[in-house]
Amino acid sequence: MFNALLIEKTAAGDQTVQSRPLSDAQLPEGDVTVRVAYSTLNYKDALALTGKAPIVRHFPMVPGIDFAGTVEHSDTPAFLPGQDVLLNGWGVGESHWGGLATRARVKEEWLLPLPAVFSARQAMALGTAGYTAMLCIRTLQRQGITPQSGEILVTGATGGVGSIAVMVLARLGYAVVAVTGRMEEAPFLKDLGAHDVIPRQYLESMTRPLEKARWAGAIDVAGGQLLAAVCASILPYGVVAACGLAAGMDFPATVAPFILRGVTLVGIESVSCPVEERRAAWQDLAVLVDLKKLDALTTEITLADAPKEAEALLSGKVRGRLVVKLDS
């Protein structure tokens, strides 16, 4: 038996979430069974737990798009019992039972060895948020954006992706401008390495097709009007890495930034990202992450806390990262 959060739907179509014991026989098919030590609470997990977006593809579902733990059983030589592993994405927690449980069974190609520099807790303090932030940063680098290019804007800076992006960009020598709707968190963001902190309202007030060009690059987690404002204020030949939709899926913009300033907008897809790029991102994180700063932006919760914290996360009341302790 193992403990899990289980999302179910009633005959009336209402969603229920409860922590309950399940049997190993109920686990989905897979090559590797993992004893989960830590998971994490991401924006997508919060949407799944609250039912505020159709994240879950079928019911019942164990949510959790991330986990880190130790292999208990393996039908493949790629992973051996006792080996520490992690997982991000691949539809886990959406169409395949996920990491908010003390045990998970998954396909071997979805797993990565846990980098030796990280504990399971630290890996989940990063989780999909940190891995996505690193994919964004690698994209800026591939597009030729260097610390000498100019300031880098990061929206949603107090959230998971944003806070880790600020920390890693600063470590790489970039001048980071952090955007937040909670200016009281400016000291926290400056401790992470932000060069400047500006209110979200500054971007919300931008409505012109082209605004004053200021930033060489940007990492955007918001989408919607905020992404349009970001693109309108990027320097010529700057780059925007877009990885989220917290402010909406629409994109009320014009082509002006792209054809008059040569701005490049790159979408970041982390769920089914190729394994080689995943490994490279985690290798970069292993070198660049300041573990003391990572701990400062991490809050540990229990499985039972997750539904309540999901509501807080969607309301913008969570700073940094939430890790879920599972292995007793």
What tens digit of pLDDT does each residue of 27-62 get? 999 999 999 999 999 999 999 999 988 889 899 999
The last residue of one of the domains, among 252, 267, 282, is 267
The last residue of one of the domains, among 246, 267, 288, is 267
C-alpha 246/C-alpha 91 separation (Å) is 19
Other beta carbons less than 10 A from residue 227's beta carbon: 26
285 inside domain: no
pLDDT reading at 304 higher than 60: yes
pTM as predicted:
0.93
Other beta carbons less than 10 A from residue 233's beta carbon: 23
> Across all residues in the chain, what is the average pLDDT?
94
Task: Please give the residue range of the domain that contains residue 51.
Answer: 2-114+297-325
Gyration radius from the chain CA atoms:
20
Name the more confident of 242 and 1: 242
pLDDT band, residue 10 (cuts 50/70/90): confident
Give the residue-averaged pLDDT of 126-155: 97
Secondary element (H or E) of residue 294: helix 291-296
C-alpha 69/C-alpha 61 separation (Å) is 20
pLDDT reading at 316 higher than 90: no
262 inside domain: yes
pLDDT reading at 328 higher than 80: no
Which pair of structure tokens corresponds to residue 89?
A: 């994405």
Give the residue-averaged pLDDT of 57-84: 95
9-13, 146-150, 205-209 — which one is most confidently predicted on average?
146-150
Q: Alpha-carbon dihedral of residues 205, 209, 213, 216, nearest 10 degrees?
A: 100
312 inside domain: yes
- For residue 29, the 8-state DSSP code is P
278 inside domain: no
- For residue 261, the 8-state DSSP code is S
Q: What is the pLDDT of residue 285?
A: 97
C-alpha 228/C-alpha 219 separation (Å) is 13
Domain of 7: which CATH number? 3.90.180.10
